[in-house]
Each structure stands twice: as structure tokens, then as C-alpha cells.
Structure 1
Amino acid sequence: HTPADADEVLRTEVAREALRLALLLASGRGATPASHALAALCCLTVARFPARESAGDLVMLPSQDRSRWDTALVEEGFRQLTRAASGDTPSRYHFEAAIAAEHVRAATLAETNWDGIVDLYHALETIDPSPVVRLNRAIALAMAGRNREGLAVLDALSAEGQLAEWPWFHASRAWLLHRTGLESSAASHLWRAMALGPPAAHRRLLERGFDAPREDPPSS
């Protein structure tokens, strides 16, 4: 749901079409627990869209106005998540939906169950050990106050090199280095992220640097 190029903040139309199709699949006679988990994930993700952009700019998670979340979609997301629990073997969608649920369940950023999110990402890795999943776990570790553990994950990813050309890897590393007081290294990765040519809205976010409090994560 994040655009790969062009001056677009969120791919809202694409995400809403995916939501429509996921709900259609979940309502059919052949619906499976994974179908309901996918529908839950789509609902809980799209529900947050109204708070994720403002005047053409991305809004960081700590700054999002949670009152703008679509409560009807949140409620449907939890209904779908309940239906998804009927199976014996969880799919990747179960874990991704559970992570999304932790975000919308929290009334404030401080109330977010970050340790629980870390555990969910760890479980997701057993199904999908992709670099992006591991990157997200590193961010969750930092948000749980475990900065050094998060950096260790990013160090391993850096050594593997699979995300070397992805701006948000460098932005994430810059943010985590900033949290640990390593400002020079943080600045280097921030510049690297911008040099890789992210979409315009993302570039504006990166250009704002780390004026925000240290707990602000690098993505929304």
C-alpha cells in the first residue's frame, strides 16, 4: 500500500480494491481461516489510512490522530480475526493481522504492546524469514526499548546486502542509530536513504530528519 514511485503518499485505491476482494473471498462458501485473516489484515490496515497522511505528507505513527481511524473497518477487522481463529495452522496473514490488531488496540503509542509485536514478528519469521520481516522486527525491538538488539538485526541484514538499495532500510538504520546517540553514522545512513531516490512524499519525510522525538519510528 506504499507507492514505489511517483508523488503519491499512499496507494489508497489499490488498497481499497484489495480490501474489497479480501472481504469478498472471506464471505464465500470456500472461505478458510487464512481468508478471514487476510480480510482482517486489509481492514485493520486500511482503517488507519485517514491518519497516515496530511496535506500530501506522510504522518509518523506517534503523530497520527487515532480518532481519524475508520472505526467501522476496525470492528470488521476484529470480527474477521475472530473467524480466522477457527483453524489449526496459522498462516502469515494470521500473524500480520495480529500485528495490525496490536497497533489499533492501543489507545496511544505508549500503550502499544511492543514486546508482543516483537514476538509476533518472530513467529512470522518462521513462515516468512524475509529481510523486510526481520527489518520490521528490528524496529519493534527498538520501540520495546531494546535498541541494541534491533541494531544487531540490522547489522546482520546489512552484511547480507539484500536491502542495500532500499531507502527504508537505511532510514530505519539511521533512526535506530540516532536513538542510540550515534549521530554521525545516523546522518550517513539518512543521506544514503535520500540518495536512493525514494518517492517525493517519503523524501520530504526524510528531509525533516530527526527533529521529532527519538521514539518516532521511520515509517508509518
Structure 2
Amino acid sequence: MTAPDFEDLLRGLTPQVLGTLVRRYGRFEGSEDAVQEAVLAATVQWPAEGVPENPRGWLVTVASRRLIDRMRSDRARREREWAAAAEVVPEDVPDTDDTLLLLFLCCHPALTAASQIALTLRAVGGLTTAEIARAFLVPEATMAARISRAKQRIRAAGSSFVLPDGPEREERLQVVLHVLYLIFNEGYTASSGSELHRADLAREAIRLVRAVHAQLPEDGGVTGLLALMLLTHARREARTTAGGDLVPLDEQDRTQWDRALIDEGTDLAKAALAGPALGPYQLQAAIAATHADAATAKETDWPQVHALYLILERIAPNPMVTLNRAVALAETEGPQAGLALLATLDGDDRMAGHHRLLSVRAHLLEKTGDTATAYEHYRRAAKSTASLAEQRHLESRAGRVRP
């Protein structure tokens, strides 16, 4: 088994093992540390000795004994049990996959969105604290403190390791999906730093949504979110030049799009739309599928895109949805119509000085021939984003229309 295969196996088993320990011992913080140590032991032993017949049971055994050792504070016993862990596999390791319950726990409503994301990536994604800190450009100590506080809040809230019932379950599921959506978005377009995207974060979000979809295959929102991620991630190779510069959607070489992901995402999008309820993820997936269905940018069915954004705007009002609808409206009725719709966002505090609003307005002004005003907006947009890749792109656009 190659190193990447070991990594994939361990990453998939980590949340299952952690779920087992939390269910058994009710100690989230201690269990998470014990599982990480068991994974570390596996990375050392398995390449040399071979993967155990029951790798999940092996990890549960090592992690359980490590946790028990800590609980008993018996150093001698810990050394004896650690040495024997590789040889003994408990008979009571459950076959159930607790990944979904673990996600519910990490996305506890008592936590902030930032803490939910960090804890999900640490406990369910298996990323180290250092990796998460690098992804969000904060010091490792800061991220470690954030994760520690999140565990303490969960303990203080007295949360039990069970799936809630009825409306509460649906409400918590929506929080889980939103957290995974945020992780994917940060991976697809990093909010800061020199790189446009973080493919590792995007892939991790997809992996976690696949895990949720495996347990809830009939849920339209889950299916829609997975479809949206696959269809969006399929464009990753065409989004940047060899030098790392951003390539807009209408200028991308669509032969570089991943057709396998597009086919899978399109099938999932159709399945999601066929469900009894229509939610924001299904609609966004349908929009992404419409773009993927066009062989060239000129062949995009913009009336269909605009109609989908109009529905999305009605069921899930959001200034970013309105902004995207303005782009589609400009393609169907002209740039002045798009600019008129953008004007409705000027009084929204959430969009004040936002680089996306500035850049879209600049783009539409350029289309009207008002290059002088477009130049000013491109420059302001470049100064308003912390993403160096987006800054370079917007400065380039500004240079193109410089008076």
C-alpha cells in the first residue's frame, strides 16, 4: 500500500474511530487526542508490519487503551497495554459509522462558525492543528486555543452523542451542511493569501459530504450540496494560469474541466431536483450544471441561469445571490439592467466596500463603455480583497481599461 493509500485509509477511519470512543466513554476532548495518537502509531507500524486484518478495530483498541491509561494515570499500565494493543482486537467494535453524529457534535449550535469549521477539520477531517492554522493563515497557537475552547464549550453545553429528533435534527443538519459549504468555499477561493485556491480543503469538504450522503442518500439538500461541490471543483484546473493568475469562467479552457466529476455532479443535481423540497443547494447545483452543460461560454443558457437565481433569491435571500443574478441579468437584458439591480445592494451593510460588488460593477461598466469609472472600481476592488491572486487579476483588468 502506498503512502497516499495509507493516508486515505486513516483519514476515512479517523471519524469512525473517534465516534466509537465518544459513544463509549463520553469524553470528546480526551477521545480526540487518543485517536490522534493511535493514528500516529498506525503511520509508524503499518508501513513496516502491514495493515491489520481489522484496521478499524486496531485503531479503536489503541485509542481506547490510550484513553483509559490517561483516565487512570497509571504509567506502567499504559506502557504494557500500548505494547499489546497491536495484537488484541476487541470483539465489541460496532459496525456502525458514527461520522454523521460526530459532525453534529462538531457543529454544535453553542459554537461560532469559525470554531465549528476548525473542530470539524480537526476531529472529522483528521487535519492537524498546524494544517488548519496554515489554511486560515493564523498562528498555530491561536488555532489550538480556538479548538480547545470549542471542546470546552461542547462539554459545558452537556451535549449527548445521539442524533436529535424531528425539527432539531433537520436544523442541526443544515448547520453541518453550511459548515461543509464554508470549508469548500475557502478551499475553492481562498479568502486571503497568495494562492487562489486550497485544493486540499476543497477535497476534504467533498469527502465529508460524501460521508454524509452515504448515510442520508435520500436527502435533497445533502445530494444538492455534493452535486454543487463536484460541479464546481471540476473547473479547478482551468481556473488559473501556469503562473497562478485567475482565469474568469468565460475565458476558461473547458477541455480542462473534469468530465467525470461533471457527469457525476450532473446526475446528482438531477436527483436532488426531483425531490419533494427545493432548497438553496439544489438550485445552486442546477446553476452549476447549466454552466457545465455549455461547451463554450457563449452557449450558456443565461435565461435559465437567471431564472434559477430568481428562485434562489426568493427562497434564500442573500446579497451574493442578488449580485450573481445581476451578472445573469446583464447577459440576458444588457449591462444597464445588471447595473440597475446592483444599485439595490448599495444600501446593504454586508456589501459595503466588498470587492465582489466593486468588481462586478466594474465589469458591467466596462461593458457599457464607461471605462474611466470601470477603472476606478477595478482599483478599489483590488484594494478590498486579501487574496493576492484576485488582486493581480483585478489590477490587470484595471490596466486594460486605464484612461
Which residue number corresponds to residue 185 of structure 2? none
| Separation in structure 2 between the aligned mates of residue 29 and residue 36 of structure 1, nearest angstrom | 9
Shift of 1:210: 5.8
- Stretch moving more, 115-124 or 162-171: 162-171
Whether 1:66 and 2:254 are equivalent positions in the alignment is yes
Whether 1:146 and 2:346 are equivalent positions in the alignment is no
Deviations 1:8-56 (A, max 9, x none): 1112211111111222222225641211111111110111111111221
Count of residue pairs brought into register by the alignment: 213
- Stretch moving more, 79-88 or 110-119: 79-88
- Report runs of 4+ in structure 1 exceeding 3 Å deviation: 210-213
Q: Secondary structure at the match of 1:54?
A: coil
- Identity among equivalent pairs (%): 39
Taking structure 1 as reference, are residues 162 and 21 closer, same or farther at Cα in structure 2, changes over 3 Å only?
same
Taking structure 1 as reference, are residues 103 and 211 closer, same or farther at Cα in structure 2, changes over 3 Å only?
farther
Q: Secondary structure at the match of 1:157?
A: coil
- Root-mean-square deviation (CA), in Å? 1.8
Q: Secondary structure at the match of 2:317?
A: coil
189, 209, 228: which is aligned to 1:2? 189
Which residue number corresponds to residue 206 of structure 2? 19
Bigger helix fraction: 2
Instruction: Verify the 8 A CA contact 1:92 1:128 in the aligned structure 2.
Output: yes
Which residue number corresponds to residue 215 of structure 2? 28
Instruction: Verify the 8 A CA contact 1:58 1:202 in the aligned structure 2.
Output: yes
Taking structure 1 as reference, are residues 89 and 190 closer, same or farther at Cα in structure 2, changes over 3 Å only?
same
Pairing 1:178-193 to 2, within 5 Å after superposition: 178-193=366-381
Instruction: Considering Cα pairs closer than 8 Å and 6+ residues apart, tell me whether 1 or 2 has the greater RCO.
Output: 1
Which residue number corresponds to residue 54 of structure 1? 241
Taking structure 1 as reference, are residues 32 and 169 closer, same or farther at Cα in structure 2, changes over 3 Å only?
same
Instruction: Verify the 8 A CA contact 2:245 2:393 in the aligned structure 1.
Output: yes
Shift of 1:212: 7.2
Whether 1:162 and 2:162 are equivalent positions in the alignment is no
Deviations 1:45-96 (A, max 9, x none): 1111111112211111222111111111111102212321342210101110
301, 305, 313: which is aligned to 1:125? 313
Shift of 1:145: 4.1
Taking structure 1 as reference, are residues 29 and 207 closer, same or farther at Cα in structure 2, changes over 3 Å only?
closer
Amino acid at match of 1:33: G
Deviations 1:117-149 (A, max 9, x none): 011111001122111110011111122242122
- Stretch moving more, 73-82 or 154-163: 154-163
Which residue number corresponds to residue 199 of structure 1? 387
Instruction: Verify the 8 A CA contact 2:383 2:391 in the aligned structure 1.
Output: no
Which residue number corresponds to residue 217 of structure 1? none
105, 117, 122: which is aligned to 2:293? 105
| Separation in structure 1 between the aligned mates of residue 400 and residue 221 of structure 2, nearest angstrom | 38
Q: Secondary structure at the match of 1:194?
A: helix
Amino acid at match of 1:82: K
221, 224, 233: which is aligned to 1:37? 224
Instruction: Verify the 8 A CA contact 2:280 2:312 in the aligned structure 1.
Output: yes
Instruction: Verify the 8 A CA contact 1:167 1:198 in the aligned structure 2.
Output: no
| Separation in structure 2 between the aligned mates of residue 112 and residue 211 of structure 1, nearest angstrom | 28
| Separation in structure 1 between the aligned mates of residue 285 and residue 338 of structure 2, nearest angstrom | 22
Q: Which runs of 5+ in 1 are unaligned?
A: 214-220
Taking structure 1 as reference, are residues 140 and 156 closer, same or farther at Cα in structure 2, changes over 3 Å only?
same
- Stretch moving more, 168-177 or 179-188: 179-188
Instruction: Verify the 8 A CA contact 2:234 2:258 in the aligned structure 1.
Output: yes
| Separation in structure 2 between the aligned mates of residue 112 and residue 9 of structure 1, nearest angstrom | 25
Amino acid at match of 1:101: A
Amino acid at match of 2:236: F
Taking structure 1 as reference, are residues 24 and 165 closer, same or farther at Cα in structure 2, changes over 3 Å only?
same
| Separation in structure 1 between the aligned mates of residue 386 and residue 332 of structure 2, nearest angstrom | 27
